[in-house]
């Protein structure tokens, strides 16, 4: 997707602070963190949102959840706990239309 911000981060056209990467998944620090640890985990193919997960691409979602555990270990929040959020659509206030999961931690969240 030419105009997608997160596709550009995946291709390296826009820089990001990478936390974890494998064949399916990229995780990078959110540019405007809302917790001491705020990492975004995205599939390396363009999937717009949760509504667009299907039988063909669902492998990326299971890889994302495996990656989330790795990110939690890397960021030292595996044992203290964290929150995983995916916003979808207008009412969900999704700003970037490329499926992503926020990992929030590093403090007791409200």
Residues that bind ligand 5GP (CB under 6 A): 5, 14, 16, 28-32, 40, 87, 93-96
Task: Count CB atoms within 10 A of the CB of residue 84.
Answer: 15
Binding mask 28-67 for Zn ion (x = CB under 5 A): ------------------x---------------------
4 binds Zn ion (CB under 5 A): yes
Q: What is the rounded CA–CA span in Å between residue 22 and residue 108? A: 29
Least distance CB 3 / ligand 5GP (angstroms): 13
76 dihedral zone (left: phi>0; alpha: psi -120 to 50; beta): left
Least distance CB 14 / ligand 5GP (angstroms): 6
Among 7, 53, 74, 88, binds Zn ion (CB under 5 A): 7
Residue 24 near residue 94 (C-beta atoms within 8 A): no
With residue 20 as reference, give the H or E element that holds it. strand 18-21
């Amino acid at each position: 997707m030419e105009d997608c911000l997160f596709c550009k981060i995946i291709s390296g056209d826009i820089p990001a602070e990478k936390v974890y990467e494998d064949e399916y998944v990229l995780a990078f620090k959110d540019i405007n963190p809302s917790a001491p640890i705020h990492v975004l985990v995205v599939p390396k193919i363009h999937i717009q949102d949760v509504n667009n997960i299907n039988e063909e691409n669902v492998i990326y979602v299971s890889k994302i959840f495996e990656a989330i555990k790795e990110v939690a270990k890397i960021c030292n929040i595996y044992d203290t706990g964290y929150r995983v959020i995916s916003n979808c659509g207008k009412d969900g206030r999704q700003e970037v239309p490329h499926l992503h999961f926020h990992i929030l931690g590093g403090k007791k969240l409200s």
